[in-house]
Amino acid sequence: MQKIDVVKHILRHTSLGSFFCGEGSAFAPSNVALCKYWGKRDLELNLPVTSSLSISLGNKGTFTKIKHEGTTDNYIVNGVVIGQEAQFAKRLKEFMDLFRPHGVHYLVEIDTNVPIAAGFASSACGFASLVQALNKLYDWRLDKKDLSILARLGSGSACRSLFEGFVEWQRGDNGDGMDSYGIKLECVWPELRIGMLMVSAEEKAISSRRAMQLTVETSPLYAAWPDQVAADLSNIRLALTRKDFNLLGEIAESNAISMHTTMWAAKPPIVYSLPETFAAIAKVQELRLAGIPVFFTQDAGPNLQLLFLVEHEEHVLRVFPELEVVLPFPDSNAVRLTLVDEHDVMVGSCEKLAAHIQGRLHRAFSVVILRKRDNNIEILLQQRSALKYHSANLWSNTCCGHPKPGEDIVAAAEERLREEMGFSVPLTELGKFHYQAKFPDVDLIENEIDHVLVGFSDLAALPFNVAEVQDYRWVDILELQKDLQCRPGQYTFWLSSVIELVQLKISNVF
C-alpha cells in the first residue's frame, strides 16, 4: 500500500481541492519520546515495530501557514527561503504532492522555535502543523485521529504532535495503518519540567530515518528492543497514574540508553553522542547522587532533554545555566475537581489525580442514555478505553465525568457526552449516590458523590472519541442486570448502583 492510497481513503468524503479557504495555518508542539519509536515494520507508511509514548512541549513547536501561490512551490523557514535542492524542500514537496490538486503550487511559511534536524523533533511538529494547516485550507474537517495518521505519513513521530500533554502512539496491526495513530493520555502533571540542553545545533550527520533502518537491519541487539519497549510502556503508564516521578525518569532514561545502545551495535556503528553529551550525562548523575531527582533522555542527536520537577528547577539551572526550561502543561488548572462534604456542599477543589490518589470526596456524574425497543428499555453502554487511568477496558454507563469547580452539573454532563460519544441530548438529573472503591492495580481510590443524569437517543452509529472509548453497545436493561450478577468483572464498579437508581425512577422517566 502506498501513501497516496491512505490519503485517498481518509479524504474519500471530500473532493480534493474543490473548496479552499485561501489560507490555512496551525501550530503544533514538538514532542519528546519517553519511550522511543525506533524501527519500522512498513517503511512507506512509517508504521512502527512498537508503540511509543511522548510528552508534548507546550509552546515549543512550529507554526505553519499555507496558501496556493506562484508557478512553483516556495518554502520559507523562519523568514529564509529554502532552495528547491535542499533535502528538506524535497521531503516537503513529496508530502505536498499527496494533497496537491492539478496545477497548484504552494507558498508554505514555517516559523519554528526548535532547532531544525538537531534531534529536537522539528519534523514532528513540522508535519503535525502542516496537516492541520491543510485541513483548514481545504476545509476537510478531519478529526485528530485522521490528522494523526496523515502526519505519520510525513514523519512517524509527527502523529504524536497533534496533541498536548502525554501521548501514546499505538502501533496498530493493520497493513494500511488505519489503526496506527496518537492518542492523548489523561495525565496532567503541572509540576513536570523538561529542560532542553543544546550540546550542538549542527544538522545531524545521519537522519533518524536512515539510522533507524540501519539499526533494524544490522544491529544484533535490536531483537530485544520490542520486549524492552513493552515493559517500559507499562511502567511509564503506571508512573503517570501514580505520579511517580522517579519511576518515570528511570524508565525514560534507560529506554533512551537502550535505543542508543542498539545503534552502537549497528554495522557501521551509529553514534550520535559527542564528548559534550557524555559530560552532561555525568553532571546529571552527579546531581542525582546529591539527592536531586533529574533524569535525561536523548533522541537521534547529541542533545539531551532533562526531566525534573518544578521544586528542583532552581538547583538544576544552577548546574545547567544554559538550559531552556519548557512547561509541558502551561494551563493545567483545567482538570480540577470539586471537593464536597457528605452533604454534597462544595468545600474546595483539587487536581484530578491527586484527589484519586488521596481518596478525597468529590462530585462526579454518570450519564445514562436510554431508548425504547417494543416494550423493553435499552441502555447505551460504553467500553472504556485501554488507556483510562482506572477501570480501563471495562463496560460502563454511557459516559462519566467530573464538573469543574463552580460548573453546572447538567451542562458539564451534556458537554462530556459530546466529547466522549460524539453527540449530545438534553439531560435530566435522576438522583445521586455516594460510593467508594479502591483500585489496587493502579493505587487509586474513588470517593464520589455521583449524580445520575438521563437522556434519550436512538442513534445507530456514534462518532465516539477513541481516546476515551473503545466500543459501545445497546443492551436491554433487564439483561444487563442479570449479566451484572453473572459477570461483574466485565463492568465498572459503579454501574450496578447507577442501574439500580435508574430502575427505581424509571416510571418517572417514561
As a whole number of angstroms, the distance between CA 27 and CA 156 comes to 18
Q: How far is the CB of 11 from ligand DP6 (least distance, A)?
A: 21
Q: How far is the CB of 453 from ligand DP6 (least distance, A)?
A: 41
> What is each CA distance from 507 to 98, 287, 374, 389, 452, in whole angstroms?
57, 66, 16, 35, 15
Restricted to residues 267-306, the positions that interact with ligand DP6 (CB under 6 A) are 299-300
Instruction: Tell me: does residue 209 bind ligand DP6 (CB under 6 A).
Output: yes
Q: How far is the CB of 157 from ligand DP6 (least distance, A)?
A: 3
Q: Which of 64, 157, 255, 396 is the binder for ligand DP6 (CB under 6 A)?
A: 157
Instruction: Tell me: does residue 126 bind ligand DP6 (CB under 6 A).
Output: no
215 class by beta-carbon count within 10 Å (0-12 exposed, 13-18 middle, 19+ buried)? buried
Residues comprising the chain, all counted: 510
DSSP state of 10: H
DSSP string covering 192-209: EEEEEE-S--SPPSS-HH
Restricted to residues 431-460, the positions that interact with ligand DP6 (CB under 6 A) are none
> What is each CA distance from 31 to 19, 157, 158, 197, 312, in whole angstroms?
32, 8, 8, 15, 22
Among the listed ranges 29-37, 239-247, 433-441, 484-492, the one in contact with ligand DP6 (CB under 6 A) is 29-37
Which residue is listed with cell 428499555?
A: 377
Q: Which of 50, 64, 123, 135 is the binder for ligand DP6 (CB under 6 A)?
A: 123
Pull the grid cell for residue 198: 543544546
Q: Which of 51, 64, 208, 398 is the binder for ligand DP6 (CB under 6 A)?
A: 208
Q: How far is the CB of 234 from ligand DP6 (least distance, A)?
A: 17
Q: How far is the CB of 171 from ligand DP6 (least distance, A)?
A: 12
112 class by beta-carbon count within 10 Å (0-12 exposed, 13-18 middle, 19+ buried)? buried
Q: How far is the CB of 379 from ligand DP6 (least distance, A)?
A: 41
Handedness of CA 224, 225, 226, 227 (dihedral sign): positive
Q: How far is the CB of 310 from ligand DP6 (least distance, A)?
A: 25
Instruction: Tell me: does residue 33 bind ligand DP6 (CB under 6 A).
Output: yes
Q: 168 vs 420, which CB is nearer to ligand DP6?
A: 168
Q: Which of 6, 24, 30, 36 is the binder for ligand DP6 (CB under 6 A)?
A: 36
Summarize as ranges the residues that interact with ligand DP6 (CB under 6 A).
33, 36-38, 46, 52, 121, 123-124, 155-157, 208-209, 299-300
